[in-house]
């Protein structure tokens, strides 16, 4: 893969930006400055340095982040900063998305990926992938409290009761709660992100995105022009 394409697929900007980065002598591979954007490299096991920072080449990005409190899992946060601001710019540009979401006050491990098939397998309601939360409580809990969570509670943002698949009382201030999403938890974010990206294309005046999970997307649905532009043949 040529250097321009490596930088482009790893989220370092537009193709024009990536050629400029290379020609400016800002990229090192194997301890040597590489300033030819058309120089070819083997990507397996490739590590490169951009502006003094080392990056491994990854065809698909999968990462785990410990989300702190005070961040929203949204591209358009309403009252708090987006969890996306915690990621390096190249990862944001290449389109990683959180796998599910954690509430603004919730801390814990949050997965991100730009692998569409993996994201589909993990978040689509038909997959019934459970999420297990280790919950530390401010007040002591009882078995009756756990049973209430199993039978359903009404949340502030929905009149319909939501129930846990399972709740285990580990000790009086620690419960292990298993949830499954009744709907796709990332639907709004996916549509929002596609709207933003398509709206950036020259000549596009309006965007109407309809989200569907069936059939699962693959590159056979792309035009030859799009495949050529993204070097996906």
Every domain of the chain and the residues it spans: 3-56, 130-179, 187-229
Mean pLDDT estimate for the chain: 84
Token digits for 185? 């938890």
Q: Which residues are catalytically annotated?
A: 103
Strand 97-98 and strand 108-113: the pairing is: antiparallel
Cβ atoms < 10 Å from Cβ of 83: 23
Fold for the domain defined by 3-56: 3.10.290
Q: pLDDT band for position 10 (50/70/90)?
A: very high
Cα–Cα distance for residue pair 66/107, rounded to 1 Å:
7
Nearest by Cα to 128 from 180, 81, 54: 180
Fold for the domain defined by 130-179: Alpha-Beta Plaits (3.30.70)
pLDDT (0 to 100) of residue 187: 56
pTM here is 0.67
Q: Point out the least confidently predicted range of 27-31, 90-94, 125-129, 155-159.
A: 155-159
| DSSP assignments along 188-229, one per residue | HHHHHHHHHHHHTSTT----------SSPP-GGGS-HHHHHH
Q: Are 182 and 129 in contact (CB under 8 A)?
A: no
- For 160, residues 6+ apart whose C-beta sits below 8 A from its C-beta are 154
pLDDT tens digits for range 124-153: 767 777 888 888 888 998 999 898 888 888
């Amino acid at each position: 893969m040529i250097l321009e394409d490596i930088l482009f697929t790893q989220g370092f900007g537009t193709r024009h930006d990536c050629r400029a980065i290379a020609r400016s002598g800002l990229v090192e591979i194997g301890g040597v400055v590489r300033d030819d954007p058309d120089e070819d490299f083997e990507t397996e096991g490739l590590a490169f340095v951009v502006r003094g920072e080392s990056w491994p080449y990854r065809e698909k990005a999968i990462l785990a982040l410990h989300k702190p409190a005070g961040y929203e899992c949204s591209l358009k946060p309403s009252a708090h900063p987006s969890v996306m601001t915690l990621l390096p710019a190249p990862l944001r540009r290449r389109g990683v998305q959180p796998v599910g979401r954690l509430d603004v006050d919730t801390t814990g491990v949050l997965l991100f990926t730009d692998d569409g098939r993996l994201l589909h397998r993990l978040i689509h309601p038909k997959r019934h992938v459970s999420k297990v939360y280790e919950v530390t409580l401010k007040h002591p809990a009882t078995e009756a409290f756990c049973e209430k969570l199993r039978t359903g509670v009404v949340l502030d943002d929905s009149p319909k009761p939501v129930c846990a698949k399972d709740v285990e009382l580990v000790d009086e201030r620690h419960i292990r709660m298993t949830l499954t999403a009744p709907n796709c938890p990332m639907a709004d974010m996916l549509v929002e992100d596609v709207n933003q990206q398509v709206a950036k294309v020259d000549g596009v005046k309006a965007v109407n995105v309809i989200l569907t999970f069936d059939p699962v997307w693959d590159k056979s649905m792309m035009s030859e022009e799009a495949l050529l532009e993204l070097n996906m043949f």
